[in-house]
Chains A and B, each alone.
Chain A
Amino acid sequence: MNRGMKLKRHSFLSNQECQVIHDSSCRLLEEVGVAATSEKAIDLFQKKGAVYEQGRVKIPKNMVEDALEKTAKEITLHGQHSKDNIRLNPEDPLVYYGTGGQALNVLYYHDGEFEKKSAGTQDLIDILRICENLENVDFITRPVEPDVPEEKMDLEKTRIFLENTSKHVNLANLIKLDKLPEIIEAVKDKSRISFISCVLVSPMNLVSDTVEKFMDIVKEDIAVSISSCPQGGSTAPLSEVGEIIQVNAELLSAVVLANLVRPGAKVLYRGIPITSNLYADASPRWCQPESIRRIAVITDMTYFYKIPCCGTAAVSDEKEPNPQTVAEKTLSWVFESASGAQFINSAVGMLEQVLTVSPEQYIIDNQVISRIKELFSQSPDYDLAEIAQKAVHDALNMFDVNLDSQMKQDISNRIEFILSPKEEYTPEYAGSQVDTISKAIQSGRSSNKFMKASRAGLRKGWLYKGMRLEGQMNLDEVLRIKKQILGWDR
């Protein structure tokens, strides 16, 4: 059986609203630009028509639109066998799920409790072995790094991947630029691997050494996801419209660069507009309703541009597997899948805002995704609110979680929040958001400016406030599967 789930796509934005975002992002790129220090990148931008002044590359709209025109419209990523291939094409989209990470810690279930330890080589091997056996893991993004010196990490990681998985390998980041030729030699087929390049730091900065690695990967015609992950309220406006304009502009700057390096570049658009927890310590909120909504909304831009999408889902904010983890992950999968995000990264195993993974969580997630797939296949003309509610209830039931009326109400509230727009995508409002971003960047202390500007939005309820779902989970089946795969029970 080939991989990938086909389903009816749910659009959050109209074509007209996408056009407003596009025009506003282009204005931001043209007037404010992206900060850059890499001479290699700056030279290339300048030669092709961008303006470099006061440390920022200002990119005209025609360069952006030319790059979008050239960008690869279909990308095929290979597994070891053709049945594991992944085909990304917005004209005929399929949804795939994969792992994600560079988590620092691994949780193991032991004597009724989860124990945390620093992740290393053996954990990477264990996770690969587990995921090799999970039918809903379509590709593997490096979950944890091997514990070898930085100099050896790229090749060691590649070796471990090739020995332990037949699925498509996303190595995530390239640690050392000069190791790329050796990686290519080891894998032989360049489509067997892909990368993720966190080439942007918000707001609107191209990171020097990452940019140069990114340019080399593109030059080699290897697929790479361009990733930008601002936090509304601290590194971007708290406003959904403002944050989407900014993240779109950031990603477009990298799309332009990629196509200057190699016209027809195989880039995947990966926008992760999450929020900052301004109710507490400004830490990221990956899996709360407003973030789930924004991550799903930005997928519409990839369909507007007709370029392949790398999605993001189910990075739980919780520290360990529990009912809240299951509920927030399930909502995230349902909405991100419905949005038509194709190459859904981080979808399996992640906890604690990307800091932690757990063998048990991979197995739990695989089981829940099976149920979500069943629900979508049973209702091809699904009602999104209904299917989301059913998916969460079913997922919690799978682990014998008792749902009381308060818990059910909170799940409904979350779904309603995700589906309800809070702002208008009008040219005037979008223009005011471009002004906010521009002023914040010019102030030199953008995070303070964004945070201060978020006070009115906070009072309008733009950050969801709800309850945590508490309760026990029955993990017997999960532990049985883990034992069956790994042959022991740590």
Chain B
Amino acid sequence: MSDFFEEIKRNIIAGKVDQEDEGFDGDLAGKPGVIELVNQAVDENVSPTDILNKALTPGMEEVGRKYEEGEYTIADMLASAECVSEATNILKPLLLKEDVQSKGKFIMATVEGDLHDIGKNIVSTILQGSGYEVEDLGTSVKADKIVNKLKETNANFVGLSALLTTTMERMGEIIELMEKEGVRDQATVCIGGAPTSEDFAKKIGADVYAKDAFDALGKLEKTAG
């Protein structure tokens, strides 16, 4: 059984999500990746909590260490986070049965009029890889769609992204709509994107400004206390 954990962990560190994936050095294609290995483990009745605690979490911790030390880049981090996110999707229904909770649920969107999604996608994937549930509404999302989704899902975080100076103002309008609709206190509002800043977050009444995915993770851990 420990072989399963080691193999899943090894593939998370290599950022190899499935059989087709070539991995970081481009020559791992054809061998099973995280999705196949986790499915196999589940089929063989390995405890999902053990897969989470003995393979996914230590695997991601090792990736974080390599990133901190400069051995890994954000591309490696993203690939590994995607592996964990896919594994978590497989394990989610089983973990619920074992009463294991996620760290919180995010509604994520690039604001209306803005089609840029790099930052949002990185943040979404890293958050998922770190134990958050993320519902990504995509790009150019209207304020009412975000607020309706918030009401519908009872999410406790809203993540807003904008790359354009012309669209960043939409973030403030979303917060105003949340207030008007009585759901402002339900969720912590996190913003990011090149033209935004700590001052801008204060100006529009957002709770968290994060300059990148790791800054977001750190600030969320602090918010959680």
Contacts and interface: CB of A to CB of B under 8 A. Distances in A.
Interface of A: 102, 104, 201, 205, 207, 231, 233-235, 276, 278-283, 353, 355, 445, 447-448, 451-452, 454-456, 458-459
A207 B115 contact: yes
B116 interface: yes
25 contacts: A102-B165, A104-B195, A201-B116, A205-B115, A235-B118, A278-B74, A278-B75, A279-B74, A280-B74, A280-B212, A281-B74, A281-B213, A282-B122, A353-B194, A448-B78, A448-B125, A451-B74, A451-B122, A452-B78, A452-B82, A455-B24, A455-B25, A455-B26, A456-B25, A456-B26
Going nearest first, the 6 A-B pairs with the smallest beta carbon separation are A456-B26, A281-B212, A455-B24, A447-B118, A234-B118, A201-B115
B211 interface: yes
Nearest to A150: B166
A276 B125 CA distance: 17
A207 B140 CA distance: 11
B25 A459 contact: yes
Contacts of B118: 231, 234-235, 276, 282, 447
Given A231-B118, A448-B82, A452-B21, 10 more contacts: A205-B115, A234-B118, A280-B212, A281-B213, A282-B122, A355-B194, A448-B78, A452-B75, A454-B75, A456-B26
Interface string B13-41: 00100000111111000000000000000
A455 B79 contact: yes
Contact of B75 (A207, A235, A445, A455): A455
Contacts of B116: 201
Given A233-B75, A281-B211, A452-B78, A447 B117 contact: yes
Nearest to A456: B26
Nearest to A458: B73
A282 B192 CA distance: 13
Nearest to B168: A104
A209 to B, nearest CB: 8
Contact of A445 (B21, B74, B121): B121
Interface of B: 15, 21-26, 73-76, 78-79, 82, 115-119, 121-122, 125, 165, 194-195, 211-213
B121 A448 contact: yes
Contacts of B78: 448, 451-452
Contacts, number: 71
Contacts of B119: 282
Contact of B73 (A104, A207, A278): A278
Nearest to B163: A201
A469 B118 CA distance: 29
**Residue among A276, A278, A455 with most chain B CB within 10 A:** A455
A39 B213 CA distance: 37
Contacts of A456: 22, 24-26
Nearest to B81: A448
B212 A451 contact: no
A389 B152 CA distance: 61
A246 to B, nearest CB: 15
B221 to A, nearest CB: 18
A34 to B, nearest CB: 13
Contact of B15 (A233, A281, A455): A455
Nearest to B73: A278
A447 B119 CA distance: 9
A120 B119 CA distance: 28
A445 B123 CA distance: 13
B121 A447 contact: yes
A205 B213 CA distance: 25
B60 to A, nearest CB: 16
B88 to A, nearest CB: 16
Given A281-B212, A452-B15, A355 B195 contact: yes
B122 A447 contact: yes
Nearest to A451: B75
Residue in B15, B21, B75 whose Cβ sees the most chain A Cβ within 10 Å:
B75
Given A102-B165, A234-B118, A282-B118, A455 B76 contact: yes
